[in-house]
Amino acid sequence: MARFLLTRLAAFVLTMFAASIILFIAINVVPGSAARSALGIDATPQAIARFEASRGLDRPLVVQYAEWLRKAVTGDLGTSFQNGVPVGPELLTRIPVTLELALLAFLVANLIAFPLGVMAAARHQGWVDRAFSTLASLLGAVPNFWLATLLVMLFTLWLRWLPPGGYVPLGTDPVANLKLMIMPALSLGLVSSALLLRIMRASMIEVLSRDYIRTAHAKGASEWVTLRRHGLRNATIPYINVAAVEFGFLFGSVVVIEDIFQLPGIGSLVLVGIINRDYPVLMGGALVITLFVLVTNLLVDIAVGFLDPRRAKEGQA
């Protein structure tokens, strides 16, 4: 098991390193766009050259990356082109917002997907199954930013229950915080629940058709006991894998949802970085989101390794 953990950890570090290269290339793939964005379209070539020289953008990409990496490993992610604010500390104040949003959304998604998926599978091809499956395909087609708009219409404009957006830290006022977080979390979570519901249903149906379930029934175990003791445990592993991927993707969607609800998280920072072509900000924000995704994958790999040691052995090869 120690070897399994070490190989996974090494793979994680390598992936993170490679991911930073890809992000760096993706951001810098078109030369000069930062200068043109900062100086406007009327900028003279001399002004663009000065801008690039002062920020080191005129050097070869490899040199720029090497310097970025050298500083990044010491925790220095550079300063914003736009306002000179250091990127690292800015990210640290924003991480809790995004993390809370993603966790709440993930909670919403699972609270819906897990029980409904199990119920649908237990009543396979009955009307419950059909109703929940239809619900899943409908939810899966709703764009989360449209759902966000609809929720604001309902809860803010009509019912006047919730504020349209803004942020209060959880530590300052938990109730106000949750009031502001409910709609963003629902917008992300309801849409995510669609895929998870389908996965839970499918893997549960698969498990319930196995021989040991029939044996349990034959022994006279009640339906609930069979479901819980034999079905759930075996159907959960594929579910966890997909849920982890979905959790990672939630971090991508925060770019859209944080903007709608004016949440000061990583996602809204990434968007500001893009609109201003503020490379250090964009790079830092995108890297944090990638880090969240990769850490999630790592933790799930390890968790599944413990739940199913055969997998851990395969993973070593």
Partner 1 sequence: MTTGFNWHRWRLAITGSIIIGIILIAAIFAPWLAPYSPYDLDVAAMLQGPSAAHWLGTDELGRDTLSRLIYAARISMQVAFIAAGVGLVCGTLIGVTAAYFGGLVDLVLMRLMELLFSFPAILLAVVLMASLGTSILNAMIAIGIVFIPGFSRLARAATEVVLREQYVESARAIGMSNTRILFREILPNIIAPLLVEAAVAFSYAILLESALSFLGLGAQPPEPSWGNMLNVGRGFMAQSLMLSLAPGMAIFLTVLGFNFIGDGLRDALDPHMKD
Residues that bind partner 1 (CB under 8 A): 15, 18-19, 22-23, 26-30, 33, 137-138, 140-143, 145-146, 149-150, 152-153, 157, 248-249, 251-253, 255-256, 259-260, 270-271, 273-275, 277, 282, 286, 289-290, 293-294, 297
Structure tokens at 180: 């502001």
Q: How far is the CB of 114 from partner 1 (least distance, A)?
A: 22
Q: How far is the CB of 115 from partner 1 (least distance, A)?
A: 23
**CB atoms closer than 10 angstroms to residue 26:** 11
What is the largest distance, in Å, between two alpha-carbon atoms of the chain? 85
Mention every residue, 6+ apart, whose C-beta is less than 8 A from residue 231.
118, 121, 204, 207, 208, 213
Structure tokens at 258: 């944080």
Nearer to partner 1, 199 or 216 (CB): 199
Nearer to partner 1, 216 or 300 (CB): 300
Q: How far is the CB of 220 from partner 1 (least distance, A)?
A: 31
Q: How far is the CB of 169 from partner 1 (least distance, A)?
A: 25
**Nearest Cα to Cα of residue 162 among 140, 138, 178:** 178
Nearer to partner 1, 144 or 234 (CB): 144
Give me the amino acid identity at 181.
M
Q: How far is the CB of 142 from partner 1 (least distance, A)?
A: 6
Nearer to partner 1, 235 or 287 (CB): 287
Q: How far is the CB of 149 from partner 1 (least distance, A)?
A: 5
Q: Please state, in angstroms and rounded to a whole number, the distance separating the CA atoms of residues 109 and 292.
A: 18
Mention every residue, 6+ apart, whose C-beta is less than 8 A from residue 301.
8, 315
CB 279, CB 28: distance < 8 Å: yes
Give me the amino acid identity at 19.
A
Strand partners, 79: 86
Structure tokens at 60: 């070869």
Q: How far is the CB of 222 from partner 1 (least distance, A)?
A: 30
Q: How far is the CB of 159 from partner 1 (least distance, A)?
A: 14
Classify 124 in phi/psi space as left (phi over 0), alpha (psi -120 to 50) or beta: beta
Nearer to partner 1, 241 or 297 (CB): 297
Q: Please state, in angstroms and rounded to a whole number, the distance separating the CA atoms of residues 34 and 197.
A: 43
Nearer to partner 1, 232 or 294 (CB): 294
Q: How far is the CB of 78 from partner 1 (least distance, A)?
A: 16
Give me the amino acid identity at 5.
L
Nearer to partner 1, 14 or 111 (CB): 14
Nearer to partner 1, 110 or 144 (CB): 144
Nearer to partner 1, 9 or 138 (CB): 138
Structure tokens at 236: 């959960």
Residue spans of alpha helices (H) in the chain: 2-28, 33-39, 45-54, 61-72, 87-122, 127-139, 144-151, 174-208, 211-218, 223-225, 233-260, 266-275, 279-307, 309-316
